[in-house]
Amino acid sequence: MTKIGTDISLAVHLLKEGLIIAIPTETVYGLAGNALNEDAVTNIFTIKNRPFFDPLIVHTDQLSKLSPLIGTIPEPLQMLARHFMPGPLTILVEKTEQMSDLVTSGSRKVAIRIPNHPLTLALLSRLDFPLAAPSANPFGYVSPTTAQHVADQLGDKVSYILDGGSCQIGLESTIVDYRENQIVVLRKGGIPIEEIEALVGPVQVYEQSSSRPSAPGMLDQHYAPSTPLTLQPLEEVLQKFKKEKIGYLAFDKLHPDLPNDHQKVLSPSGNLSEAAHHFFRYLREFDKMDLEIIAATLVPDRDLGRAINDKLKRGAIKN
Ligand code: TXA
Ligand code: MG
């Protein structure tokens, strides 16, 4: 039986022993281990069934604690860090020799972030090493937003699940890099691009169609539920599948042509933050319903909607 609880001292003890636990963040749950312990880092990849070429984010409660591990943070990224950390922002910075190549998959840059969750901040403040943590889902599946989601899939593989409730934001962090004097958004996430641009001016956004992704998380067919997902209009899906085999992920209103218990509305009031909070959870709930297809609609393409749409497009079957 997996241990789920809120015992920070136990979590500290297990991490110091080099073991792997799940931690809550404001974005999604993470699969955490001592970033300075190569055995622990290797175990994270193994538990998640993640290829070693896909690097991990390093979590801390204070950037100053990372100073032996990273180089100077470029001023534009420092500005973002001052404004959005702790929060759903990850920045890429040069690493030193003391940061393992295993964590960065050989890249000379490391991804760092300060998660904004009281339990995990308390945990990090009691550690003298940072935590490497990818999202706590098997590679390729949607991210977990509750402790139970983690227990469902990885429960027998982690030493403890620190339960911080349901993740407030529900989408992963926004990842930004600074290259050739330009801020580049590599992954759309919990900080809307509009908020970043309000602070630093126009940024480059890494789009899905690029053929050579520099963040492996940008690969197509990531973040998909097990049930095939389509963006075809529900009218067309209804011609191909029986009603009882269809799930419909709507943005703000039910569709008249499908029973209500086969539909999930992301936000009845049309609020994109609420939609983000429900997004991964609803995909998981559909996956438990013995469906043949999940039909989804894109949401308004602004704020957190851009990250939701990005995930919908990536997760949808090509037809
Ligand atoms: O919100 C989040 O960021 C969550 C929570 C747990 O913090 N973590 C998360 O980690 O989403 P993960 O591993 O599922 O996604 C991190 C993404 C991956 O696509 C990875 O390729 C990219 O970050 N990444 C990590 N380190 C990188 C690096 N050094 N250079 C480029 N991309 C990097
Ligand atoms: Mg992930």
The yes-or-no verdict on residue 211 having pLDDT over 70 is no
Q: How close are the terminal C-alpha atoms of the chain, in Å? A: 42
pTM score, two decimals?
0.96
The yes-or-no verdict on residue 313 having pLDDT over 70 is yes
pLDDT of residue 217: 47
99 CA to centre of ligand 2 in angstroms: 21
26 CA to centre of ligand 1 in angstroms: 15
pLDDT tens across 144-193, in order? Answer: 999 999 999 999 999 999 999 999 999 999 999 999 999 999 999 999 99
78 CA to centre of ligand 2 in angstroms: 24
Q: What gap in Å lies between CA 192 and CA 195, rounded to an integer?
A: 5
Q: What gap in Å lies between CA 239 and CA 59, rounded to an integer?
A: 47
Q: Do 52 and 43 form a contact (C-beta atoms < 8 A)?
A: no
Which ligand is closest in space to the CA of residue 35? Answer: 1
The pairing of beta strand 174-179 with beta strand 182-187: antiparallel
Q: Which atom of ligand 1 is nearest to the CA of 190?
A: 1
pLDDT of residue 224: 81
The yes-or-no verdict on residue 208 having pLDDT over 80 is no
pLDDT of residue 212: 45
- Tokens of residue 268, six digits: 């009845």
187 CA to centre of ligand 1 in angstroms: 9
Say what percent of the chain tops pLDDT 90.
Answer: 92
Residue 261 backbone dihedrals phi, psi, to 5 degrees: -75, 0
Q: Which atom of ligand 1 is nearest to the CA of 105?
A: 29
pLDDT tier, 37 (very low <50, low <70, confident <90, very high otherwise): very high
Q: CB under 6 Å to ligand 1: residues? A: 25, 27-28, 30, 54-57, 90, 92, 104, 107, 109-111, 113, 115, 133-135, 172-173, 175, 215-217
Element holding 287 (H helix, E strand): helix 272-287
Q: Which atom of ligand 1 is nearest to the CA of 135?
A: 14
Q: Do 85 and 63 form a contact (C-beta atoms < 8 A)?
A: yes
Q: Greatest CA separation found in the chain?
A: 60
pLDDT of residue 207: 78
What contacts 139, CB < 8 A, 6 or more positions away?
48, 49, 50, 51, 54
Q: Which atom of ligand 1 is nearest to the CA of 29?
A: 6
CA distances from 24 to 32, 161, 239 (A): 10, 8, 42
pLDDT of residue 318: 76
CA distances from 134 to 52, 130, 236, 285, 308 (A): 12, 13, 37, 22, 19
The yes-or-no verdict on residue 297 having pLDDT over 60 is yes
pLDDT mean across residues, the chain: 94
Instruction: Pick the residue whose CA is nearest to atom 10 on ligand 1.
Output: 134
pLDDT tens across 40-76, in order? Answer: 999 999 999 999 999 999 999 999 999 999 999 999 9
